[in-house]
Amino acid sequence: MDEIKNDEVVEELEQETPEEELTADTDWEAEAKKARGIAQRALTKLKKLGEKPKEEVKAPAPVKKESNPSELNETQLDYLDLKGVSSQEEIDVIQKVMQRTGLTVRQALQDDYVVSRLETLKKDREVKDAMPSSTKRGGSTMDSVEAALARFDSTGKLPDDFALKSKVVNAISERDSVNKPAWHA
């Protein structure tokens, strides 16, 4: 069987090399290079015939992420970031509108409800960012008993922290105690 394959290769090579009439003007160096190339191809084909065919290694198919219509893809998030929508609250608003109405990101950004909601969120964030944080130089911290007591007096609501809540309740009871002498104020 190998002999049949070898004969086929030789026949192919003979077909590849047309017999030209060689004249005195023939470039012999070019003819020599051509002959070497043909011989090299023939050797390569013969070697391949003698070897067992290698199994082709197939690259694994790329795993496609099933895009969930409720989640924005990276391109949409980049577009929103480009338009100045970067906080998670704003993205959630746009995402909910897209889910409910079936609009695209561009259409959702032009929707009146989304525009007004984004402006409201932006104003709230600006107000929150404008409030100075408590520092050691600023006097009392926000978690101090005095600040919590003043907050309780104005709103009537006790703090969530149990330790601070206990301190505020004790301060209120001391302040309103009738057993305490007036000169201890």
pLDDT tens readout for residues 84-125: 888 899 999 999 999 999 888 999 999 999 999 999 999 988
Tokens of 88: 């998670």
126 within some domain: yes
Tokens of 118: 């984004």
**Mean residue pLDDT across the chain:** 77
37 within some domain: no
Contact 49, 2 (CB under 8 A): yes
Q: Which residue has the higher pLDDT, 106 or 25?
A: 106
pTM summary value: 0.38
Query: What pLDDT, on the 0 to 100 scale, is given for residue 71?
Result: 77
113 within some domain: yes
Query: What pLDDT, on the 0 to 100 scale, is given for residue 44?
Result: 85
Longest alpha-carbon distance in the chain: 134
- DSSP 8-class letter at 63: P
Domain co-membership, 88 together with 125:
yes
Contact 116, 108 (CB under 8 A): no
At 17, the pLDDT band (50, 70, 90 cuts) reads very low
Contact 125, 87 (CB under 8 A): yes
Domain count, the chain: 2
Q: Which residue has the higher pLDDT, 169 or 137?
A: 169
2-11, 35-44, 70-79, 159-168: lowest mean pLDDT where? 2-11
Instruction: Give CA–CA dist 61/59, Å, rounded.
Output: 6
103 within some domain: yes
Long-range contacts of range 119-123, CB-CB < 8 Å, 24 or more positions apart? 121/87, 121/89, 121/90, 121/93, 122/90
54 within some domain: no
Domain co-membership, 108 together with 151:
no
Instruction: Give CA–CA dist 70/8, Å, rounded.
Output: 61
105 within some domain: yes
Give the highest mean pLDDT range of 70-74, 88-92, 140-144, 146-150. Answer: 88-92
17-21, 71-75, 130-134: lowest mean pLDDT where? 17-21
- Per-residue pLDDT reduced to its tens digit, 28-64: 788 888 889 998 888 888 887 776 555 655 666 665 5
Domain co-membership, 159 together with 126:
no
17 within some domain: no
Task: Over range 63-82, report the average pLDDT.
Answer: 74
26 within some domain: no
3-state secondary structure 39-51: HHHHHHHHHHHHC
Query: What pLDDT, on the 0 to 100 scale, is given for residue 129?
Result: 80
Domain co-membership, 87 together with 126:
yes
Which residue segment(s) compose the domain that 118 sits in? 74-130
Cα-Cα-Cα-Cα dihedral sign, residues 139, 143, 149, 155: positive
CA distances in angstroms from 51 to 22, 44, 45, 46, 54, listed in the order given: 37, 11, 10, 9, 8
